[in-house]
Amino acid sequence: MSTISTSDFKNGMTIELSEGLFQLQEFQHVKPGKGGAFVRTTLKNVRTGAVVDKTFRAGEKVESAFIEKREKQYLYRDGEGFAVMDNETFEQLTVAPESMSDAANYITEGSSLVFLMYGDEIVGTDLPASVELEVTETEPGLQGDRVSGARKPATCETGLIVQVPLFVNVGERIKIDTRSGEYQTRA
């Protein structure tokens, strides 16, 4: 591993501290009139998702962590977790539900997703901005019920429940924003 100085900080960079593995969300160099300069940061714990504020002295050295992105294909869900296959080596492995976090709500069999790997440990997933899912259960829209902006709950094929407009019916494919979990449009 390499060490980097606080002057080399960039948003999105991953660093390793004694408390764990953190991604740099935001940083600010501060030079007060009295005393030494320092760097105020907002860090997100990659494993737990907790956000903390930490202050470093200017020029302080920290360990840089190399996060590799590997594309894998989701095959199926079994009792212990999710079976995925590496697209390069065709090696199959089972991923624990904790490692998948919110990604489990948006993936269907055969879909690809990018895992963020720290060594052999999965520390997160990169999802596309939106996904298409099929509606498996929802109430039918009533004729004449045309209130502007009215919504109803719909269950998708992955089990995700989304608020959709009244005109969406069972069997239709809808586009969902993976960042907010909200309905975007019919597919």
Comparing 76 with 150, the larger pLDDT belongs to 76
Residue 153 in contact with residue 144, Cβ under 8 Å?
no
Q: Flag whether the pTM goes above 0.85.
A: no
Residue 39 in contact with residue 58, Cβ under 8 Å?
yes
> Domain boundary at 82, 101, 126, which?
126
CB environment 101-123: b (16+ within 10 A), e (fewer): eebbbbbeeeeebbbbbbeeebb
The structural domain count of the chain equals 3
Domain enclosing residue 93, as ranges: 68-126
Same domain, residue pair 120 and 135: no
Instruction: Identify the pLDDT of residue 146.
Output: 62
Instruction: Identify the pLDDT of residue 28.
Output: 93
Q: What mean pLDDT do residues 72-89 have?
A: 87
Q: Can you give the CATH number for the domain in which 182 is found?
A: 2.40.50.140
Confidence of residue 39 (pLDDT cuts 50, 70, 90): very high
